[in-house]
Structure 1
Amino acid sequence: MSGIDNLPPLREVIATHGLAAKKSLGQNFLLDLNLTAKIARLAGDVKTADVLEVGPGPGGLTRGLLAEGARRVLAIEKDPRCLPALAEISAAYPDRLEVIGGDALEVDPLAHLTPPIKIAANLPYNVGTELLVRWLTPPQWPPFWDTLTLMFQREVALRITATPGSKAYGRLALLAQWRSDPRIVLELPPEAFSPPPKVNSAVVHLTALPAPRYPADPATLNRVVSTAFNQRRKMLRSALKSLHPDIEDILQSAGIKPTERAEQVGLEAFCALARALDAAG
């Protein structure tokens, strides 16, 4: 029996249900229940929250969240092989775990959740960034979630928390830091997983801000940032010339030197540029 509940160890669960990780699904299972319990604790106080988990696999983090007292967990799992193992967890925690078989990119979880809502997941590598961007760009802000506690490849985690001037700094950092407070809270080596990935992993905890850090129209800001970093080696006066014929004047009115490159410009300045572009019409 495991140390956090009366269910079998994860290696036994995987063997019983034939859950060899599939590369096509981006699966790397975290088997140490002490580690999954630690990640569950990093999600904060879950006792008064519903928790959305994407890609639970054999249920290591699921068990950690439930053992930490999560009010309810909604787990979305694409791999049908994992559903019997998750059903065993559901039976051990009556009325506290709901499992939906399906693709998290296509399932609307809101009908199944009651605020406050936290999201905690060892995200499949192949959809992690896309899901994060979706959660950071809802039609309305504040979003439906209070916090995100997400496992990524370490390289992606560094891109989320990057600062101007670093190679990792780009659209993802600006998107995350405009509307949330992201920080790396745990790093894990490849051998913590089965099968071991080729890279290190890291858990990022993001707390939603009640309002964006600086005022800007989301669509304009996204267009400016995407255009700037698509040609990050170019000076901004060249990289952004497609946005407005008077882009040099607009850059200067926003307090940005036209000769700077995207990776030198901070979030506040990008927001000022988005406002200046909207004002220029």
Structure 2
Amino acid sequence: MAIDTLPPLREVIARHNLSARKALGQNFLLDLNLTAKIARLAGDLSGTDVLEVGPGPGGLTRGLLAEGARSVLAVEKDPRCLPALAEIAEIYPGRLKVIEGDALQVDPRAHLSVPYAVAANLPYNVGTELLVRWLTPAAWPPDWSSLTLMFQREVAERIVAAPGSKAYGRLAVLAQWRCEARIAMSLPPGAFTPPPKVSSAVVHLTALPEPRFPADPEVLSRVVAMAFNQRRKMLRASLRGLHPAIEDLLREVGIAPTDRAERVPLEAFCALARAVAAAR
């Protein structure tokens, strides 16, 4: 079923010679019904600007616009994709702006009305770094209201993981401290061209008005990074450089110094961050 008057994506890719490049982390999703479904996962976009990273030939871009996004700002590093995106802009006048550049270096805020939504089939090689940046802005609540992001299934599971699981780590703590996070959709390798070696999943994160538990963001980030950087060690060892009396601080907030990071729930990490900040 067509979602607009443009040709199918396979035809667009063939006409513009857009073979996916591994160096850019590209895996194109060609089924426009799927891209429209992903766009719907972002919620009602009718009064919302959307930031899209790595649109490629524009499958998700077309889905977002067809589903009613007020405007889409697409940041694309690959200049080969720009002509295909320009064709989309022509049939959605004034609703698509394309910036050629690296999403890690482009500041999109001047082109978007706050709060905006983020929706992207993220390039595998920069997805996690972009997520961490979105989760750790200078002030909270952030400029964005929601993130609807495609990741490798393994990364998606790390974002929503619960304490005690092997997937639980820094990403889970950072995401769940300030967001509602859920896996909204799973996709097999065969949905993409070329097929990646792993399955993928769409994660939907909604920004909370304020963090679930009080903590200084920089202190919490440091505590969590040190704890999970040596996750096989007991906390009294992995956090030794944090404070001379780290064992006392751990006991003070109800964490056994012999515990390992993967057993510590979010609330306890926040309590430890507060205790460390107070002890300085």
TM-score (norm 1): 0.99
Q: 1:23 deviation in Å?
A: 0.2
CA offsets, 1:190-224, max 9 Å, x none? Answer: 00000000000000000000101100001100110
Counterpart secondary structure, 2:214: coil
Question: Which residue matches 2:221?
Answer: 222
Counterpart secondary structure, 1:121: strand
Identity of aligned residues (%): 76
Instruction: Provide the rounded CA distance (Å) in 2 between the counterparts of 1:101 and 1:280.
Output: 47
Q: How does 1:184-195 map to 2 (within 5 A)?
A: 184-195=183-194
Question: Which residue matches 1:52?
Answer: 51
1:94 maps to 2:93 = yes
Instruction: Provide the rounded CA distance (Å) in 2 between the counterparts of 1:236 and 1:195.
Output: 43
Q: How does 1:96-245 map to 2 (within 5 A)?
A: 96-245=95-244
Instruction: Provide the rounded CA distance (Å) in 1 between the counterparts of 2:245 and 2:100.
Output: 51
Counterpart secondary structure, 1:184: strand
Instruction: Provide the rounded CA distance (Å) in 2 between the counterparts of 1:38 and 1:223.
Output: 38
Q: How does 1:253-268 map to 2 (within 5 A)?
A: 253-268=252-267
Q: Which amino acid aligns with 2:189?
A: P
Instruction: Provide the rounded CA distance (Å) in 2 between the counterparts of 1:81 and 1:231.
Output: 42
Question: Which residue matches 2:71?
Answer: 72
Q: 1:49 deviation in Å?
A: 0.2
Where in structure 2 are there 5+ consecutive unaligned residues? none
1:61 maps to 2:53 = no
Q: 1:116 deviation in Å?
A: 2.9
Q: 1:115 deviation in Å?
A: 2.1
Instruction: Provide the rounded CA distance (Å) in 1 between the counterparts of 2:47 and 2:115.
Output: 7
Q: Which amino acid aligns with 1:111?
A: A
Instruction: Provide the rounded CA distance (Å) in 1 between the counterparts of 2:93 and 2:155.
Output: 36
Counterpart secondary structure, 2:35: helix
Q: 1:126 deviation in Å?
A: 0.2
Instruction: Provide the rounded CA distance (Å) in 2 between the counterparts of 1:79 and 1:20.
Output: 11
Q: Which amino acid aligns with 1:53?
A: E
Counterpart secondary structure, 2:57: coil
CA offsets, 1:120-172, max 9 Å, x none? Answer: 00000000000000000000110000000000000000000001010100001
Q: 1:257 deviation in Å?
A: 0.9
Instruction: Provide the rounded CA distance (Å) in 2 between the counterparts of 1:135 and 1:235.
Output: 30
1:269 maps to 2:268 = yes
Instruction: Provide the rounded CA distance (Å) in 2 between the counterparts of 1:242 and 1:16.
Output: 57
Query: Is the 1:28–1:195 contact (alpha carbons within 8 Å) kept by the matching residues of 2?
Result: yes
Q: Which amino acid aligns with 1:170?
A: G
1:3 maps to 2:2 = yes
Q: Which amino acid aligns with 2:156?
A: A
Instruction: Provide the rounded CA distance (Å) in 2 between the counterparts of 1:255 and 1:280.
Output: 16
Question: Which residue matches 2:40?
Answer: 41
RMSD of the TM alignment (CA)?
Answer: 0.6
TM-score (norm 2): 0.99
Query: Is the 1:184–1:204 contact (alpha carbons within 8 Å) kept by the matching residues of 2?
Result: yes
How many pairs does the alignment contain?
A: 280
Q: What stretches of structure 1 move > 2 A for 4+ residues in a row?
A: none
Q: Which amino acid aligns with 1:257?
A: A
1:18 maps to 2:17 = yes
Counterpart secondary structure, 1:272: helix
Query: Is the 1:48–1:116 contact (alpha carbons within 8 Å) kept by the matching residues of 2?
Result: no
Q: Which amino acid aligns with 2:256?
A: K
Instruction: Provide the rounded CA distance (Å) in 2 between the counterparts of 1:247 and 1:114.
Output: 44
Q: 1:278 deviation in Å?
A: 0.9
